[in-house]
Amino acid sequence: MRFIVFETPEEKAQGLQHMPWIDDQTAYLFPDTYGGAVFHSQNVREPFDIAFVDEDGIVLDLVRMQPPRALVQAPEGSVMAVETKAGRCAMWGILPGATFAPL
């Protein structure tokens, strides 16, 4: 697994939108994601998973996003979001209650 970190406001706003495909070996990280932040699947070409992680690295929630109209709000306590090709979070053990600390 490799990581791509979306750090700038522009990178975070763009996210997975308009990518020709979601790489199946990559986790896309959104640091500084806080409870209440809204994520959507508009302009994303395929389903993807989004996991929300707290400051201790514990996965709080995992959601499968179905384009083009899925919306999810980060749960309270979130400090990072992780997006992957659909099914990869489970494959890599990024599941609610598990520890995930890539940075």
Determine what percent of the chain is predicted with pLDDT higher than 90: 96
Q: What's the whole-number average pLDDT of the chain?
A: 95
Residue 71, C-beta contacts closer than 8 angstroms, at least 6 positions apart:
38, 39, 40, 41
pLDDT in tens, 59-74: 999 999 999 999 999 9
pLDDT of residue 102: 83
C-alpha 71/C-alpha 90 separation (Å) is 20
C-alpha 68/C-alpha 76 separation (Å) is 25
Q: Would you say 60 and 89 are in contact if contact means Cβ atoms under 8 Å apart?
A: no
pLDDT in tens, 26-60: 999 999 999 999 999 999 999 999 999 999 999 99
Q: Kindly report whether the global pTM for this prediction surpasses the value 0.85.
A: yes
pLDDT of residue 103: 62
C-alpha 72/C-alpha 63 separation (Å) is 8
